[in-house]
Amino acid sequence: MSSPKESIASLIEDFNAISVQDRLMLLLEFSDNLAPLPARYAEHPDLLERVEECQSPVYLFVEVNDDKRVGLFFSAPAEAPTTRGFAGVLQEALDGHSVDEVLAVDEDFPNRLGLAEAVSPLRLNGMRAILRRIKRQIKEKSA
């Protein structure tokens, strides 16, 4: 498994290699493929944290397991594909990696995906907000 740093570098390369229109389609793939919540969270929405900075409701839950690896779980409605896409990109880059690796991720990397032109800088703020909340939950849960 490649490190988050390598995954992010390859995501940045993938997004920037294609046209602005195709970047939207790639984001849509991430949205379409976002994993559904496992039953233990689907049945307990109270365990999830709402990301208020996002344009549409998205909930997240971060697990830190005994060997200090991070599990990421998201719930966002089908009517919020941009937000689902952001969650999917973050899941691809960060899920299953160590606490230290995820905390070391540059919080500004969403700005380097070439998505600002495709979705607008304001909307992209939502992705950075999800990343900040992921890191905060990791810090709380690994303290």
Partner 1 sequence: MPVPLDPSAKFAEYAHPEVLVSTSWLADNSNLPGVVVVESDEDVLLYETGHIPGAVKIDWHTDLNDPVTRDYVDGAGFAALMKRSGISRDTTVIIYGDKSNWWASYALWVFKLFGHADVRLLDGGRDAWIAEGRVLTREKPEITPAEYPIVDRDDHSIRAFRDDVLKHFGNPLIDVRSAVEYSGERTHMPDYPDEGALRGGHIPSAKSVPWARAAGEHGVFKSRAELEAIYLDEIGLKSGDNVIAYCRIGERSSHTWFVLNYLLGLPGVRNYDGSWTEWGSLVGVPIVKGTEPGLAPVR
In the complex, which residues of this chain contact partner 1 (CB under 8 A)?
Answer: 24-25, 27-28, 31, 52-57, 78-83, 85, 117-120, 122-123, 125-126
Cα-Cα-Cα-Cα dihedral sign, residues 117, 112, 9, 128 = negative
Considering the complex, state which of residue 80 and residue 94 has its C-beta at the smaller distance from partner 1: 80
Rounded to a whole number of angstroms, the minimum distance from the CB of residue 14 to partner 1 is: 17
Q: Give CA–CA dist 59/62, Å, rounded.
A: 10
CA distances for 21 relative to 24, 60, 62, 116, angstroms: 5, 28, 32, 12
Q: How far is the CB of 90 from partner 1 (least distance, A)?
A: 16
Contact present, 118 and 86 (Cβ < 8 Å): no
Residue number, 92 or 101, with CB nearest to partner 1: 92
Angle between helices 4-16 and 81-94 (to 10 degrees): 140
Q: By C-beta, is 32 or 100 nearer to partner 1?
A: 32
Question: In whole angstroms, how close is the CB of 30 to partner 1 at the nearest point?
Answer: 10
Nearer to partner 1, 14 or 100 (CB): 14
* Dist. CA 17–CA 92, nearest whole Å: 18
38 vs 45, beta carbon nearer partner 1: 45
Minimum CB separation of residue 59 from partner 1 in Å reads 12
Task: Give the separation between CA 24 and CA 141, rounded to whole angstroms.
Answer: 34
Report, in Å, the least distance between residue 54 CB and partner 1: 7
